């Protein structure tokens, strides 16, 4: 996706912002296809729980409240729970750079706490690059990701789970 900033002296369009999108569903398929990874995706449900300490987001009141609101979703421990984060990074290491790079990352909360923030399990979904920040227009760039999340929520998708050796929704 590109938005046009203007036209240079050679009559070429100069993109204001360029977006790269990576569908998270493909990465989830890969995670569940590996038996070790599929087992890790159920860790939050199968772990030994200590009722006194907050050791994982699953111990929090928000997680429990969500489970009460959506009991069908909560029934299957393979259902994935995400956190969405975005931040600007300076890819050229120059403080006076006129280039802006924004990353949109999904964190998977099904994983053990010591793995949630590891690079291997962070899903880079969107990169927005250009001479300026996306600002209030960031919702336009988030649209394909939100459509994928809506599809996951409403329909789910067929996936081969190597842990149970069967296809599931």
Question: What pLDDT score does 18 carry?
Answer: 83
Q: What is the mean pLDDT of residues 70-99?
A: 82
- At residue 31, the 3 state secondary structure works out as helix
21-71 pLDDT, tens digit per residue, is: 999 998 998 888 888 998 999 898 888 777 778 888 888 899 999 999 999
Question: What pLDDT score does 52 carry?
Answer: 75
Torsions phi, psi of 100, nearest 5? -120, 135
Q: How many CB atoms lie within 10 A of CB 40?
A: 18
Question: What pLDDT score does 155 carry?
Answer: 86
Q: What is the mean pLDDT of residues 104-127?
A: 93
* pLDDT surpasses 60 at 99: yes
* pLDDT surpasses 50 at 4: no
- At residue 13, the 3 state secondary structure works out as strand
CB 111 within 8 A of CB 44: yes
CB 130 within 8 A of CB 23: no
Predicted confidence band of residue 72 (pLDDT cuts 50, 70, 90):
very high
Give the residue from 138, 55, 57 showing the smallest Cα distance to 102: 138
Question: What pLDDT score does 92 carry?
Answer: 63
Q: What is the mean pLDDT of residues 87-107?
A: 77
Torsions phi, psi of 34, nearest 5? -90, 125
The residues facing 6 across adjacent strands are 14
CB 64 within 8 A of CB 54: no
What stretches of the chain adopt beta strand conformation (E)? 2-7, 13-21, 82-89, 100-108, 123-130, 159-161, 166-168
For 140, the token pair is 């336009």
Question: What pLDDT score does 149 carry?
Answer: 92
Domain ranges of the chain: 2-168
119-160 pLDDT, tens digit per residue, is: 999 999 999 888 777 777 788 889 999 999 999 899 887 776
The Cα–Cα gap between 22 and 86 comes to 15
């Amino acid at each position: 996706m590109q938005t046009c900033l203007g036209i240079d002296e050679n009559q070429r369009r100069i993109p204001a912002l360029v977006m790269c999108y990576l569908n998270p569903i493909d990465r989830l398929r890969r995670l569940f296809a590996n038996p070790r990874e599929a087992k890790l995706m159920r860790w939050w449900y199968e772990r030994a729980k200590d009722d006194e300490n907050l050791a994982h987001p699953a111990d929090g009141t928000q997680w429990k409240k969500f489970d009460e609101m959506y009991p069908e979703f909560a029934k299957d421990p393979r259902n994935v729970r995400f956190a969405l984060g975005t931040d600007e990074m300076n890819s050229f290491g120059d403080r006076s750079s006129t280039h802006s790079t924004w990353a949109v990352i999904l964190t998977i909360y099904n994983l053990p706490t010591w793995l949630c923030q590891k690079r291997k399990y962070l899903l880079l979904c969107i990169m927005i690059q250009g001479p300026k920040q996306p600002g209030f227009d960031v919702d336009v760039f988030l649209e394909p990701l939100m459509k994928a999340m809506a599809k996951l929520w409403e329909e789910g998708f067929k996936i081969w789970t190597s842990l149970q050796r069967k296809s599931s929704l």
